[in-house]
Amino acid sequence: MKSARLIAALSLILTSCMAAPSDDNRYSAGKPMRDWRNFSMPSEEVLRDELSDLQYEVTQHEGTERAFDNAYWNNHEEGIYVDIVSGEPLFSSRDKYDSGTGWPSFTKPLIAENIVERIDGKLFMQRTEVRSKHGDSHLGHVFPDGPQPSGERYCMNSAALRFIPKQKLQEWGYGEFAPLFE
């Protein structure tokens, strides 16, 4: 936990001037998601139009939003988190926990096949970047300092995610995940 807080503090210092505070999440305002099962990558022009500046910076240019100033770090509702670009399911609220970092953190992905991990050597340290498989969105990083049994902390950017509340899973095309919350 100590290393998680140190990483959070360093990230906060390094990124506080990089990103503006969370701006409007256009998809969260009720705009329908793409059909994640038949996703094809939209053009850069379409992405720039559909995503807020912060969402675009985070997902397309490996940006980082501010800690404690984002949509989901303190969200305690039941539901799933999907990629803001592709809509592919990524994480469940059942695996979310308070890591003290100011970003939404999870112990494991909802569907491991929808996550791609790669080594990131930026910022003078080696980390493991987490990207969505189909949208190729930068989501955040995974660290080996999470709670057991996995010991992993998937530290994600809210700007890369859309939260689907359990009450909307069926309506928004994610009904297969409703049994997780029964």
Q: Please list the active-site residues.
A: 155
Please, what's the b/e burial string for 71-86 (b: 16 or more CB within 10 A of its CB; e: otherwise)? Answer: bbbebeeebbbbbbbb
User: Three-state SS across 2-68?
Assistant: HHHHHHHHHHHHHHCCCCCCCCCCCHHHCCCCCCHHHCCCCCHHHHHHHCCHHHHHHHHHCCCCCCC
Contact 113, 64 (CB under 8 A): no
